[in-house]
Amino acid sequence: MPRLRQQNLLAAQWTPNGGALGTSDLNMAENQIFSSNVFSITVQRQRLPRDVFGKLQQTLARGEALDTSLADAVAQAMKDWALEKGATHYTHWFQPLTGSTAEKHDSFYAPTGEGTALAEFSGKELIQGEPDASSFPTGGIRATFEARGYTAWDPTSPAFILENPNGALLCIPTAFASWTGEALDHKIPLLRSMDALSKSAVRALRVFGDATAQRVFTTVGPEQEYFLIDEQYYFERPDLLTTGRTLFGAKPPKGHELDDHYFGSIPERILACMLETERELSKLGVPVKTRHNEVAPAQYEIAPVFENSNVGSDHQHLTMQVMQNVARRYGLVCLLHEKPFAGVNGSGKHNNWSMGTDTGKNLLEPGDTPHENLEFLFFCAAVIHAVNNHQGLLRASIASPGQDHRLGANEAPPAIISIFLGAELEKVLGAIERGEAGESTPGSFLGLGTPVLPPLPMHGGDRNRTSPFAFTGNKFEFRALGSSMSLSLPNTVLNTIVAEAIDYLADELEEAVKGGAPLEEAVKSVIQRSYAANKRIIFGGDNYAEEWHKEAQARGLLNLRATPDALPYLIDDRAVAVFSDYGVLSKRELESRYGVFAEQYVTKLNIEAETAASIARTMLVPAAANHLATLLAAQLPELATETSEKIAEFTAAIKALEDANLAENQPHDDLLEHARYMRDEVIPAMAAVRAVADKLEKVVADDLWPLPKYSEILFIK
């Protein structure tokens, strides 16, 4: 049997480990595992003194700073709980600007001097840590030799236990700041933005006569797409191992042209992995609800129930971490890159976003008659205003090298930001703009053609899977996030720009009411003007169509196709003003993020280019040369000439890539100029190398080609 076929046979084998078994009826209390590894409100109520628990919950409900006098009592209870769970160490778990999480483990146990050890954990250790911050990216906000950084406990996101076969670890979600107090992470700006939006939304609610709501929370429900492939293929692909995506790979005869993967039956091995993943996430309090096959072969999706933006962002990091860890137990590797396979659908993360009060009201719930629900229409108009006025900033918040392969392709929204409202809502807002009364569509039902099936209520509008920012019933779905991304920055941007828009419309509304206009008339007038001024951002058609690109340009909408096009909008005057005005990010903090993202773009592309050149020179050229020798020995001159010409073209392309990626040939004085060079010179050079390599893959003998092919990686499970 040829070597490659033997590898495929081995990759197709797996042994169930039963890791997700052990409970039969989750309705029974003794079998309930949800949040069993979380220092939840229930655990706090059981373990904290009544007065301490009451003060802590009141503080969190009001969004106030924590009284340090409570810290020792909370730390003692948290330590005792963690020790009972088998934890020996704790860590301040934080989100630096790397895009992933970071942790430094400290032991609970300290020697007593008598040959024994005592478990200790104080309120001071709970509230604040001091990791070495010198090697985290800062974008120039501090010098490398300045190592001090602080982690600060975030009591609004519950601590949790991470289990390991050899023990357990208490993880305490924290913020990360420099010794000057500047944010070095994604959590601090997100929390600031949530406070800003709450203040603005509560102010608007007061105008509507709501004197009860004290706080407004933004919520998220991210739909995570990902690939699962056999780990044997992963470790045989240096490009996957180093960059997260395949830098080479010819399109297989069968991809997803038959549409037979989407919502298809989940393979047994994959389902076993999913079940254990969901069990582990359930113990961590992550409310996962949905799983299914995605469009591409070997692609899947997992989605949770809505949570507040801060906890949801923390849980999203946990979800990615747990998926990757559990996959290895099944001989699989979880790929989170936005485009791991060329010509095959990439992976995104749909960010379902909404606003709700502490009294349980969803501010983006239209109700039965949307045209009468002026409060909903007011907040909806604010979102439209925000997205239209900050489309560049919103696009910049989701920019990355991986995204540049995906945005605009036929599985992702284009790089043009637009809003889909649905037929019903667009009709209502259009009627208000024209000064008409407006009528909602009468409730109707979809007849399914057989009495066996019940009639289903018809929605006021169909879905639009091509829209980057779509209203989907009681929320907006920001569909353009990349699968490997943190939720924090996009939601920080959303919260901040919507806060600004709410205040802008509330100013107009308050002025009209003070001038004597009835509230209903004043609201309609504000919505009328706002919708007329911002409706260019509304589009309900096919976002993939070339006609839309032309129309969007005529409307004055931005089309920021690549990361270097989008990043400058992070630091333009409008972005600096809105973040500064709402106390979310200072100009210095904002510029630091711009610097980090630009540097990461250049660095990641440099790694890809070096990896591509190395694989091409040391693996693919020798394979092609061996194949050529075989053809010459077999006296097949036509095939030999064809292969020889391709090898010559290949070596020339490799040399051009190596020259383009030489440090001395690149601009280094300006980060954006450097990023544009990588986009304009290095990426095309990589594409040229790949184009020839993929042709060679189709002619070189199968047992000589050193890289597992798409037809194996994607279909052997």
Domain ranges (residues) in the chain: 33-183, 598-713
Residues in the chain: 717
| Low pLDDT (below 50) residues in the chain | 1, 371, 444-448, 450, 453, 456, 458
Q: Which residue matches tokens 């990588």?
A: 678
Burial label, 452 (beta-carbon count in 10 A; 0-12, 13-18, 19+): exposed
Task: Please tell me the predicted confidence (pLDDT) of residue 663.
Answer: 86
Task: Please tell me the predicted confidence (pLDDT) of residue 717.
Answer: 85
Q: Give 562's contacts (C-beta < 8 A, 6+ positions apart).
A: 404, 415, 679
Contacts 24+ apart (CB under 8 A), 660-663: 660/609, 660/685, 661/606, 661/609, 661/610, 661/613, 661/685
Residues 157, 319, 262: CA angle, nearest 5 degrees: 140
Task: Please tell me the predicted confidence (pLDDT) of residue 1.
Answer: 42
Q: Give 166's contacts (C-beta < 8 A, 6+ positions apart).
A: none
Task: Please tell me the predicted confidence (pLDDT) of residue 409.
Answer: 64
User: Beta strands of 255-370 (E only): which ranges?
Assistant: 288-293, 299-304, 307-308, 332-335, 349-357
Which pTM does this prediction carry? 0.93
**CATH architecture designation of domain 598-713:** Up-down Bundle (1.20)
Distances in whole angstroms, Cα of residue 527 to Cα of each of 532, 556, 686: 8, 22, 50
- Give the end-to-end CA distance of the chain in Å, rounded to a whole number: 20
Name the nearest CA neighbour of 354 among 320, 319, 325, 312: 312
Task: Please tell me the predicted confidence (pLDDT) of residue 446.
Answer: 44
Task: Please tell me the predicted confidence (pLDDT) of residue 683.
Answer: 97
Burial label, 513 (beta-carbon count in 10 A; 0-12, 13-18, 19+): middle
CATH no., domain 33-183: 3.10.20.70
Task: Give the span between the Cα atoms of 624 and 630, in whole angstroms.
Answer: 10
Task: Please tell me the predicted confidence (pLDDT) of residue 116.
Answer: 67
* Residues β-bridged to residue 300: 226, 293
